[in-house]
Amino acid sequence: MERKLGKGALALVTSLAIAVPAGVIPQPAAAVVFSSIQVQGNQQIETGAVLSTLALPQGQDVSPGQINDALQRLQNSGLFETVELVPQGGTLIVRVAEYPIVNQITFEGNRRLNDARLAEIVRSQSRRVYQPAQAIQDAQAIAQTYAAEGRLAARVDPRIIRRSGNRVDLVFEIREGNVTEIERISFVGNRAFSDRRLRNVLETKQAGLLRTFIRRDTFAPERIPLDEQLLTDFYRSQGYADFRVQGVAPEIARERDAFFITFNIQEGPRYRFGRVDTVSEIPGLDASAFAEQSRVRRGSVYNPSVIDTSIRRMETIAIQQGLNFVNIEPRVTRNPQTQTLDLTFALTRGERIFVERIDIEGNTTTLDQVIRRQFTTVEGDPFNPREIRNSAERVRALGYFADAQVQTREGSSPDQVIVGVNVEEQPTGSLSLGASYGVNSGVGFNLGLTEQNFLGRGQTVGLQLSTASDDRAAAINFVEPFFLGRDLRFGFSANYVETEGLNSDFDTRQIRIQPSLEFPISDNGRLELRYRLSEDKLSNVTEDSSQILIDEEGTRLTSSLGYTYNWDSRRTGLDPLTAYRFRFSQDFAGAGGDTKTITTTALAGVESTAWRDSVTLRAEVEAGAIYSYGDYSTWILDRFRTGNRIRGFEPNGLGPRDLAADNEDGLGGNYYWAARAEAQFPIGLPEEYGIQGGLFADVGSLWGLDQTVGTGGVAVDDDMYVRAAVGASIFWTTPIGPLRFNFSQALRKEDYDREQNFDLTIQTNF
């Protein structure tokens, strides 16, 4: 059993001896003859083994050089602590002192790496002969492990403690030191952008004033090529087509506690697009339809991503028109005098190459079909390099593999290629324990079990449990992304949610099951069909609540059919700078059960970047309506509540309200609309702090009730009144999870509305 050595024990430590000099009686210059060789001092090592290593003949002339070579062989064998060769007449006495046996191996001073981790690193073993050279190698291996953890200043010294019976305890004394951070990242040759702006581009980050409390970064040589590429991509996206990194010089401080990295760069001139043309070099192919897909504009700043986007759009047109083996070749002509680039998209006839087969290797768990269905290309199709690259990205995006490489090689003939897919499996199951906090919901805890690649079939199975001060929830989810072998997503979910006075004076319980099918109906659009069966219960409505809520107390069964159309431009990614999305949903309740409603919601949003991609702009508009038919009237669990749709107000803080009731609880509404605008941007702090700022403005309304007669027969005002609020946000990415601080002020409200001027949310898993 390993034990730690105290201060008193360390006083007995004896320093290691890598090579112990041997005492040898001076030899005569002439050769000698030994009639016998005697070995003394050996206990564990057999005499025959010593004589075999010595390899000196008996009864023959032995030169001084042979004696010296024999001595070196014994010393280098690693078996003996001291060796002496003593000639006595015709006899050679070999006196040896064996290395002791290692009694136990212990580690001192380690906190960051535990004993079990260090024991896996060292090759010295207890109950084996102690070897100083191996102990030195073990110490170096431990130091290298600490270096990989960012502690380049770590020192490891092997020591031995003598014990009885020719035994020793081997002790590795460790001084871990601090993390060797990157103290400074600087640039030479930059004129257009400051050092601070360029540091934000890099994957490697510089240490800052608050890094001790936020997070640290260490020097990793393998990140340098990535940083060079990121710098190149950034400069070229800003129009510097001739930019290049001339060299990178990392230096370490003498104390080995800090790194200094200098990038030597050459910016070159900034180019703009000059003449932009699209020409066809294929007989009979009109280039006009392809020219319309170009997103390159004369006079705009040169940006390779815009060229790539245009090529992708043109290739999409070629596929839609059934044109195979069409290449879109960008031809750039530099004009240094005017600092412009003339661009010509040339439609050329490519080589007639077909896909012979697709080989998949490395998937020990995941079925071949899960990988193969990410390829729209099959055996025998025309070879499209971009489509193969897109398929490779889809394989990587699955999240099932630590690495996925897709390469092509020549097939059985020059016009055939073989697509090789080599993947490296990684764990796809996860167990998460989490905590959350919200101003309204308080502190909560959650447990999640998820398997994203169930039985290697690409299916997702999940279980989530959560609890907070006023609510509890449980959910089971199952997703089959390729149901019946088609692009048909089958899902099943079962939910249980219970609240106790959450922002209200009543309790709720909801039990729901919902199967669904989702499938594409366009390149960017998908349609989901679903069925929902739920039992909802409203209970413990207090006496000081509205008469409307008191009358609604009870349990209702809902059986509904619904659909959602979802359109998202990010699916094809033809415009990487701006994303658009639209969602339209309807649920028809009344196919059995107690509820008879038609619920309709719609949302449209856009997200884009500005100011050299440093500012993110978002805007959304959404609305919803519930229509009840027959003799049915909506109740609180049917109606909309604002939630986070309009910031600056509590989740149930606006909309129709029974002012004659003592608690003036919100009643929800049959209709709502909301418009939101938000900007997220850096606030001057280094990017590694993970802190950004934001501004937002929300406007909207919630209104409409089926029953408007409230407490004491007083009518509830359910007209549409516009509310508006503005605010500022702080986004902070921390080791315990992402934090968002919202500070808001209502600009337009009703007297009875309940404001919320500050909100803090946190979500973390550990």
* CA separation for the pair 173, 7 (Å, rounded): 12
Q: Is 552 within 8 Å of 582 (Cβ atoms)? A: no
Same domain, 551 and 647: yes
For residue range 281-336, what is the model confidence (pLDDT) as tens digits?
A: 998 888 998 999 898 999 999 989 889 889 988 988 887 787 888 889 999 999 98
Q: Which of 537, 737, 724, 708 is nearest to 633 (CA)?
A: 708
| Among 225, 246, 266, residue at a domain's last position | 266
Residue 332 inside a domain? The answer is yes
Same domain, 312 and 458: no
DSSP string, 278-316: EEE-STT--SHHHHTT----TTSBP-HHHHHHHHHHHHH
Residue with tokens 């069925």: 531
For residue range 28-43, what is the model confidence (pLDDT) as tens digits?
A: 456 788 888 888 888 7
Same domain, 419 and 437: no
Q: Is 444 within 8 Å of 467 (Cβ atoms)? A: yes
CATH code at 366?
A: 3.10.20.310
Query: In what order do the strands lie in the sheet containing 272-280?
Result: 272-280, 340-349, 326-335
* CA separation for the pair 758, 79 (Å, rounded): 73
Same domain, 496 and 592: yes
For residue range 15-29, what is the model confidence (pLDDT) as tens digits?
A: 333 333 444 444 445
pTM equals 0.66
* CA separation for the pair 448, 465 (Å, rounded): 6
Given this model, what pLDDT does residue 349 score?
Answer: 87
Residue 261 inside a domain? The answer is yes
Structural domain of 335: 272-349
Residue 533 inside a domain? The answer is yes
* CA separation for the pair 206, 761 (Å, rounded): 28
3-class SS shares of the chain: helix, strand, coil, % to 5: 15, 45, 40
Same domain, 586 and 557: yes
* CA separation for the pair 239, 235 (Å, rounded): 7
Given this model, what pLDDT does residue 9 score?
Answer: 33
- Extract the tokens encoding 489: 């997503």
Q: Is 425 within 8 Å of 362 (Cβ atoms)? A: yes
Given this model, what pLDDT does residue 215 score?
Answer: 45
Residue 8 inside a domain? The answer is no
- Extract the tokens encoding 675: 């418009």
| Among 425, 448, 479, residue at a domain's last position | 425
Same domain, 418 and 544: no
* 3-state per-residue secondary structure call for 91-136: EEEEEEEECCEEEEEEEECCCCCCHHHHHHHCCCCCCCECCHHHHH
Same domain, 639 and 706: yes
Given this model, what pLDDT does residue 765 score?
Answer: 43
Residue 5 inside a domain? The answer is no
Whether residue 421 is predicted with pLDDT greater than 80 in this model: the reply is yes
Q: What percent of the chain has pLDDT over 90?
A: 42
For residue range 134-166, what is the model confidence (pLDDT) as tens digits?
A: 899 999 999 988 887 778 778 899 999 988 888
Cα torsion 392, 396, 401, 403 to 10°: value is: 70
Same domain, 690 and 761: yes
* CA separation for the pair 556, 535 (Å, rounded): 6
Q: What's the rounded mean pLDDT across residues 589-593? A: 91
The answer to whether the Cα torsion of 497, 499, 502, 508 is positive or negative is positive
CATH code at 513?
A: 2.40.160.50
Q: What's the rounded mean pLDDT across residues 735-758? A: 86
Name the domain count of the chain: 6
| Among 74, 98, 122, residue at a domain's last position | 98
Residue 548 inside a domain? The answer is yes
Residue 304 inside a domain? The answer is yes
Same domain, 189 and 171: no
For residue range 652-677, what is the model confidence (pLDDT) as tens digits?
A: 889 999 999 988 888 999 999 999 99
Residue 589 inside a domain? The answer is yes
Half-sphere exposure of 100 (CA within 13 A, CB side): 17
Same domain, 231 and 377: no
Given this model, what pLDDT does residue 15 score?
Answer: 31
Half-sphere exposure of 498 (CA within 13 A, CB side): 9
Q: At CB < 8 A and 24+ separation, what contacts does 302-306 make?
A: 302/236, 302/239, 302/241, 302/270, 302/271, 302/272, 302/273, 302/341, 303/236, 303/237, 303/238, 303/239, 304/233, 304/236, 304/237, 305/237, 305/576, 305/577
Same domain, 392 and 470: no
Same domain, 157 and 201: no
